Amino acid sequence: MELKPPEQLDAVAGNALGPDQGVKALPAMPPPPRQDLAGDSARLLADAALALFAIYAVVVVFDNLPPRLADPLWLLGVSTALVNSVSIPLVGVVLLHVAASIAPQTNWIHQRRQRISRFARWAALGFLLLVPLLGFATWRGITNVNTASQNQTAGLTRKANTILAAINNASSPQQLQRSMVLLQGPQLRNEDLALPLPALKKVGTVVVKQALQASLEQLPKPDSSAFKPLYIQTLRTALLSLVSSLAFASLAYDPLKQKSLLQSLIRPQSAGLSGLQRGGLFSSISKQLDKFKRSTSNDAAEAQRLADRRRSQNELNRAKKQAERSKSLRDQEMKRTLAQQRKLSQQRERQQKLAERQARRNANKTNRNP
């Protein structure tokens, strides 16, 4: 079998199919439109960041309901919940920074990034304030434990003194047995009644003192080993609060200064330790606090302006509605006045017609009777 080149095969196929049905070249397909993958990815990352913030809020709030502000354990639980799940909002802030970096031309993403950076500044301050809050909760818990222990100690001592007084005042073994049953003290067996009364009193006194000592040793104390895990958890929460504060400060980006809040605090004027020597950490912190105050005052002023504008718009709307209502009332009053005047004119016309008719009748009667 002889193989033919492709040109001869095409010619043969064209002759076989006819002059109009030969092999034709397919037109080139246009390339698919290029999608804005960076913008779509940035939008997805920004929405995912909001979802992470919502998840964090739901987890922290619903795990600590109902609120018990006077309970130190509740305060410790809230602080622990805040720091245990802090990675969720941190990832959300990082996602927003990534979204802003891959879509630098999207304005709404940069605006959301600025709002979240402002939130990160306040979050850094809030996590820093968790440390004194934990100290207050620990001090309040220790105070409550000491108060409860003192109250229990006073109650146990008072009961033991009552039992000892009953033992000393007993005049016979039978009376001593009845007193112990009544006061729920150490019980005497029937064979113990055969012992002399002084021996019974001595044994009863020793038993009561030993029971009092054992009960006092079992009372909770702040320095006991039972509270050691709680202290460890408090220290862990405090350290995580400091780390979380530093993390939020490092993610609080200021587009005007092109640096984060942590960089502004550590290097207020220049890099390295020279910045700390010239600017000073405390002066930088005071400047940041002043900036917070100015931003807060600006936000408050903007909110006040919006409220004033909304109030003036509402007053204008109320004035318009009042004017429209007054106009409608005047129109209705005018319509009623016109209707009354029309009725009065009609009544006068009817009366005039009746008078004319009566006058004609009288004239006719006069003519008939000269």
> Tokens at residue 222, please?
């702040």
| Per-residue pLDDT reduced to its tens digit, 299-322 | 777 778 878 888 888 888 888 888
- In this predicted structure, what is the pLDDT of residue 338? 85
- In this predicted structure, what is the pLDDT of residue 315? 85
Q: Is the pLDDT of residue 95 over 80?
A: yes
Element (H, E) at 259: strand 259-260
**DSSP percent split of the chain into helix, strand, coil, nearest 5:** 80, 0, 20
- Give this prediction's pTM: 0.52
| Per-residue pLDDT reduced to its tens digit, 259-278 | 777 777 776 554 444 444 44
For tokens 């306040």, the residue is 122
| Per-residue pLDDT reduced to its tens digit, 339-366 | 888 888 888 888 888 888 888 888 877 7
**Average pLDDT of the segment spanning 76-103:** 87
Residue from 370, 96, 127 nearest 240 by CA: 127
More confident residue, 130 or 292: 130
**Average pLDDT of the segment spanning 85-102:** 88
- In this predicted structure, what is the pLDDT of residue 1? 39
Alpha-carbon distance of 189 to 275, in angstroms, equals: 84
Q: Which residues of 51-75 are buried (b: 16+ CB within 10 A; e: fewer)?
A: ebbeebeeebeeebeeeeeeebeeb
- In this predicted structure, what is the pLDDT of residue 35? 42
Residue from 213, 149, 202, 207 nearest 183 by CA: 207
Confirm if 212 and 155 have CB atoms less than 8 A apart: no
| Per-residue pLDDT reduced to its tens digit, 14-60 | 444 444 444 444 444 444 444 467 777 888 888 888 899 899 889 88
* Three-state SS at 253: strand
If you average pLDDT over each of 104-118, 221-235, 276-290, which comes out highest? 104-118
Beta bridge partner(s), residue 126: none
| Per-residue pLDDT reduced to its tens digit, 163-221 | 878 777 777 777 777 777 777 777 766 666 666 777 777 777 787 778 778 877 777 67
* Contacts for 285 with CB less than 8 Å, ≥ 6 apart: 265
